[in-house]
Structure 1
C-alpha cells in the first residue's frame, strides 16, 4: 500500500533538469519533497499537492523523502505527442517516452544500423557511487578525449533526474550523454532493454567508453540472491554478447562493519562468481599486504580467479582525479578518506578502460 497525504508547497529549495526539490507542509510539519517535472509538471509555492509519504513514514535512508504524486494546481497535463513506449508500465505513474527503437526517433537509423559495441570497454558497476571515480580517472588519463556515456539500468531509482551525481558529472564534462533503459527514464536517450541501451550508447550517443550501473538506491536483503546488484553479472553477459569488452568493478571495502561486505563484498562474489557466465576483466587496486591476501583468497574461493581475468592496476590516480574535478563522492556516508579501497577499485576500472581507449586510439592514428 502507498501512504498518501495532501500538502502544500511552501518553498522551492532547488531545481535540477527534470527535478524540483521543495519544502511542503504536511501533517503539521514542514518537510522536503521531490517533484519529477516529467511526471507531474512544474511546481511552485502555494500549490496543493498529493504526496507519497511512505518512505519518510518508514524512516528509510535512500528514498527517504516525500514524492509528489499529483499537483492539484495543474490537474490537466498533456504528454508530448511523439513516442509510444511506456515506462513504469501499468502503474499510475507510467510515463511515455520516445525510445531510440522507435522509427520516429530522429536517430533511429543509427540505432538500427548497429548490432555490435565494436569492442569498446564497458565498465560495469554495482553501485551508483562507483561511476564518479571511474569517470574522473578516465577524464584525467585520456585528457578528456574519451567520450564517456552512462547507461542507467532500472535496478534501483527509475528517474535519472534523482541523481545529483550524474548532474554534476555532466556539468563538469565527465559524462557526454546518458541512456536510461528498462523502466528507468529521464536520460538523454531512452531504450527498452539493457541490450538496446548499450547499442544506443555506442551508436547513437557515440560512446568511446560506457559506464553501466543502476541509479541511486541499491536494494539488498542480506541474502545470496536478494539484491539488485546481481545485475552486474547479467550485464557482463550482455556486453559479451554485443562484442564489447566487459570491465567489472569489484566492491571492496574494509570500512564496512558488515562481515559479508568486508574485503570483497558478497555482492561481487555472487554476481561475478555465479551469475556472469562469460569472462570479463576485474581490475583490482594496489592494496596493503594483508588486505590483498584476503581479497585474493575471496577471489579464489568465489571462483572469480578461475572464470575472469583479474589484474592489479598500479597507475590509479583516483584521489587526484576526484580532487581535480572537485568531486566529493560518498558511499554509505563514507568518503575516500574513510573507505579508500571502495573508490580505488572503481578508479582502477576507469584506469583500465582508459588504457584500452588510448591503445586503440594510438593504433588508429598509426602510432607505434
Structure 2
C-alpha cells in the first residue's frame, strides 16, 4: 500500500443499534429465541440469546444490533438482541469458575472451564495418545462426518470441539441441536471466545486433552461454528485454522484426519474442485502430516482433483486416501433435517458433503485397524 492510500485507509469499526419492539415469540428452544420485531415501523425478525440478555416477552422494548442485515451479509445477516430495555437487570453470577469469554466487551461472561475444574489432568497429560481427530473447515461439514461415524458404530463416543472462527454461541447451530436431539453427538466443547458448549475450555489443546483424558472420547471433531470469514485473498479467511489445527493435533501426538472443501458447483474458480482455502491450509500452514480423505469421483472430476493435489505436492506432504461415499450422501438426503451449505443441498453439490463423510470413513478404518492390532 503506497503512502497516500495508507493515509486514506480506515478500519471503519462501526455498529448499528436500533430500538425495537417484540411483537411475538416465533420459536423457542434452550438458549435461543426467534422473535418477530417491529423496527422503525417495519416487521423484522431477530434472534435473542436469553443467557446473555434474559428471556424476551411480547411487548418488550429492546436494543437490536442490525449491522449484518444493514450490510446485506449472507450467513451473518440477522438481527440480534443486544439488550432488553424492559428487563435490563440480570441475576448475580454464581460461584465457580472465573474465566471470562467475550473479554472486555459489554457482554463479557463468566464460564467454568475444564482447566479450572481438573487441573491435575492437565498437569499429568501432554499427549492425546493417538486419538483420531477429524479436522474440518466449515461447520456445515459436521453433520455428514457425525452421521457417517454413528451409522457405522452407534456406540462411538464423539466430542465436537467448536472453535471461535465462525459464530461464537454454540446454540446458534441448528446442526448441533439436531445431532444432540437425535443422540448422535455425545459432548460439545467450546474454546477461545466460543461459548455455550456442554463444557468450556480456554483453547483447542486443552479441549483435545479433555476429550481424551476426561471424557474418554473415541473420536474428536474440530470445526468452527456457523459462518466463515473470507476475503478472497490467500491467507485472509478464518478457515485457515484447519492447517493450524492439524499442527495442534500433531503436537499432542494425535491422528489428524481431514478433508478438503470440494465443489463442482461453485461459480468462483478459486473454490472449484478443491478450494484454495484447503490448498493453502494443507500446503502452506500445516507443518505436521495428516491423512487427507477424499471421496471417489469419476472422469474429469477425478482428473481435476488429482491435478490440484499434485500441483501443490500434497501427496508428498500428507497421506491421501479415497473413499466410496455414495450410500452416505443418499442417507443424508433422507434425513428429517435439511442438510445444506451456503443454501446448497446434498443433491445440489454432493461432493461437498461427501468429503467430510470420507474423513469419517478414514477414521473408521483407523479404528478397525487398531482393533485388529489388539487381536494380534
Q: TM-score, normalised by structure 2?
A: 0.92
Taking a change above 3 Å as real, the CA distance of residues 130 and 119 of structure 1, as seen in their structure-2 partners, is same
SS at match of 2:160: strand
- Aligned residue pairs total 362
Where does the alignment leave 5 or more consecutive residues of structure 1 unmatched? none
Question: d(CA) in 2 for partners of 1:113 and 1:352?
Answer: 30
Alignment of 1:60 with 2:60, yes or no, is no
1:234 positional shift? 0.2
Alignment of 1:71 with 2:84, yes or no, is yes
Question: d(CA) in 1 for partners of 2:32 and 2:372?
Answer: 41
> Counterpart of 1:301?
311
> Counterpart of 2:290?
280
Taking a change above 3 Å as real, the CA distance of residues 164 and 287 of structure 1, as seen in their structure-2 partners, is same
Contact 2:24–2:36, Cα closer than 8 Å, also in 1: yes
> Counterpart of 2:252?
242
Contact 1:157–1:215, Cα closer than 8 Å, also in 2: yes
1:219 pairs, out of 229, 239, 250, with 229
SS at match of 1:96: strand
Alignment of 1:334 with 2:347, yes or no, is no
Q: 1:252-304 CA deviation, whole Å, 9 max, x = no partner? A: 11010000000010000000010000100001111012111111111111221
Alignment of 1:128 with 2:139, yes or no, is yes
> Counterpart of 2:359?
349
1:172 positional shift? 1.0
1:194-233 matches, within 5 Å, as 194-233=204-243
Q: TM-score, normalised by structure 1?
A: 0.94
Alignment of 1:92 with 2:106, yes or no, is yes
> Counterpart of 2:148?
137
SS at match of 2:340: coil
2:56 pairs, out of 40, 43, 58, with 43
Taking a change above 3 Å as real, the CA distance of residues 293 and 224 of structure 1, as seen in their structure-2 partners, is same
1:94 positional shift? 1.3
Contact 1:179–1:197, Cα closer than 8 Å, also in 2: yes
Where does the alignment leave 5 or more consecutive residues of structure 2 unmatched? 1-13
SS at match of 2:279: helix
1:103-118 matches, within 5 Å, as 105=117, 107-118=118-129
2:29 pairs, out of 8, 13, 16, with 16
> Counterpart of 1:173?
183
Question: d(CA) in 2 for partners of 1:161 and 1:224?
Answer: 31
Contact 2:293–2:321, Cα closer than 8 Å, also in 1: yes
Taking a change above 3 Å as real, the CA distance of residues 12 and 114 of structure 1, as seen in their structure-2 partners, is farther
Contact 2:159–2:189, Cα closer than 8 Å, also in 1: yes
RCO comparison, higher one (Cα < 8 Å, 6+) = 1
1:108 positional shift? 4.8
Contact 2:162–2:190, Cα closer than 8 Å, also in 1: yes
Contact 1:152–1:212, Cα closer than 8 Å, also in 2: yes
1:357 positional shift? 2.3
Question: d(CA) in 2 for partners of 1:235 and 1:274?
Answer: 13
Question: d(CA) in 1 for partners of 2:24 and 2:259?
Answer: 40
Which consecutive segments of 4 or more residues in structure 1 shift more than 3 A?
Answer: 107-114, 323-327, 361-364
Question: d(CA) in 1 for partners of 2:301 and 2:147?
Answer: 25
Question: d(CA) in 2 for partners of 1:126 and 1:306?
Answer: 22
Alignment of 1:268 with 2:278, yes or no, is yes
Question: d(CA) in 1 for partners of 2:334 and 2:120?
Answer: 38
Taking a change above 3 Å as real, the CA distance of residues 134 and 305 of structure 1, as seen in their structure-2 partners, is same
Contact 2:321–2:362, Cα closer than 8 Å, also in 1: no
Alignment of 1:318 with 2:328, yes or no, is yes
